[in-house]
Amino acid sequence: MGKKNQKKKLKLKKLKNKKKKAKAASSAPPPPSPPPPPPWLELPREVTADILQRLGIFDILESAQNVCTTWRNVCKDPSMWRVIDMKNLGRYHLFSYLDTRCRLAVDRSEGQLTEIYIDYFATDELLQYISERSSQLRCLRLGGCSEVSGDGLSEAAKGFPLLEELHFVFVKNCNEGIEAIGRSCPKLRSFTLSESGYKHPQLLCDADALAIAKSMPGLHRLQLLGNNMTNEGLQAILDGCPLLELLDIRKCLNVDLSGELGKRITQKIKDFKRPDDSMEDCEWDPEIFDCDEYDEDYYRSSEISEFSLDNYYDYDDYLHYSGSDYDSDGGVDPYFYFD
């Protein structure tokens, strides 16, 4: 009998313990619910894309696409890369780094690229890479790209049959390819050629103007800043480009508009900027060299001429760096500043 009573007591004790545990569990606060998703995840995809497109290329590639899966998917959408803006970056990054990021952006566009803007780091190879993948390109702007050649531009232009806007700002060697570019891009409506010029009778040159007149008949807007053309070149442009509405020849100081040519321009062109008009609205202001004491042998010297250009453009300095510019992992710091 004693053993039976002990067993009953043990059962009762276990039952009481179960009831206590059940009561304690029922009175305990519920576990916290998971936090709500970030508010941006609930935005429509097109709204998210519109917001992200306001960021720069590096903000997208280095930060935004890593925030969440939704943002990453949006950042990989080809429509996000129809416009690639890489202006004003050359002094703060290694050119090889910029080249790599530019190619990645072009790849992501999957052929939908329509506008691209590059300062300093463009090369013939990069332009050819873009050309082979961007047949829908409508606008190309290059600024200060000393590693681009006339032949490279001519070859790349073959892949841009729909190009409507082309802007060269201090691109050293672009003059050599102007005519070939015009023939490859028959839809060109706007063309800019901004460079440093020389004010001297023996340094006049109408080659650029004649090439434009011969190969770009559909132009509506033309900016020739700091060019060495004469009245002959300007006359050829008026004859060869009958659709011109805007003509900007600021700092083309070898042109004389006092006669009939000036009157013709006034009658024909709706928006005309004269050689001595202000350059305040220009991002890059052409420098004009006034050669009062002209020495023919001096200016024919390739060494002196090359020195003058390099001294003015000063872009090649950005290409050189020392071994100390590498980080501890053997890579290169993309944000190294070039003095």
Amino acid 221: pLDDT? 98
Amino acid 10: pLDDT? 65
DSSP 119-164: ES--BHHHHHHHHHH-TT--EEEEES-TB--HHHHHHHHTT-TT--
Among the listed residues 221, 234, 220, the one whose alpha carbon sits nearest the alpha carbon of residue 275: 234
Amino acid 39: pLDDT? 64
Give the Cα separation of 252 and 254 in Å (integer).
6
Amino acid 310: pLDDT? 40
Partnered with residue 246 across adjacent β-strands are: 221, 271
Amino acid 50: pLDDT? 67
Give the Cα separation of 336 and 230 in Å (integer).
44
Give the Cα separation of 281 and 256 in Å (integer).
23
Amino acid 77: pLDDT? 83
Amino acid 88: pLDDT? 78
Cα end-to-end distance, the chain, whole Å: 101
Residue 290, SS3 per DSSP: strand
Are 129 and 156 in contact, with CB atoms under 8 Å apart?
A: no
Burial of 75 (0-12, 13-18, 19+ CB in 10 A): buried
Q: What is the pTM of this model?
A: 0.72
Give the Cα separation of 87 and 121 in Å (integer).
10
Amino acid 4: pLDDT? 60
Could you say which residues of the chain have pLDDT below 50? 197-198, 201-202, 288-289, 291-339
Quick one: tokens of 172?
Answer: 């050293």
Amino acid 126: pLDDT? 98
The label of the residue with tokens 């023919």 reads 296
Amino acid 228: pLDDT? 92
| Residues 6+ away with beta carbon under 8 Å from 142 | 118, 119, 122, 148, 167, 168, 169, 171, 174
Amino acid 305: pLDDT? 36
SS3 content of the chain, % helix, strand, coil (to 5): 45, 15, 40
In whole angstroms, what separates CA 100 from the centre of its chain? 13
132, HSE (Cβ side, Cα atoms, 13 Å): 9
- Alpha helices for the chain (secondary structure H): 2-27, 45-52, 57-62, 69-75, 95-109, 124-133, 150-157, 178-184, 207-215, 231-240, 260-268, 296-300, 302-313
Amino acid 298: pLDDT? 37
How many other C-beta atoms can be found within 10 angstroms of the C-beta atom of residue 178? Answer: 25
In whole angstroms, what separates CA 198 from the centre of its chain? 29
The label of the residue with tokens 């002959």 reads 232
Burial of 184 (0-12, 13-18, 19+ CB in 10 A): buried
| Residues 6+ away with beta carbon under 8 Å from 161 | 135, 184, 185, 186, 187
Q: What is the CA radius of gyration of the chain?
A: 32
Q: What does the angle CA 221 – CA 225 – CA 227 come to, to the nearest 5 degrees?
A: 115
Amino acid 2: pLDDT? 58
Amino acid 309: pLDDT? 37
Amino acid 187: pLDDT? 97
Q: Looking at this protein, which amino acid is placed at residue 284?
A: W
Give the Cα separation of 177 and 12 in Å (integer).
101
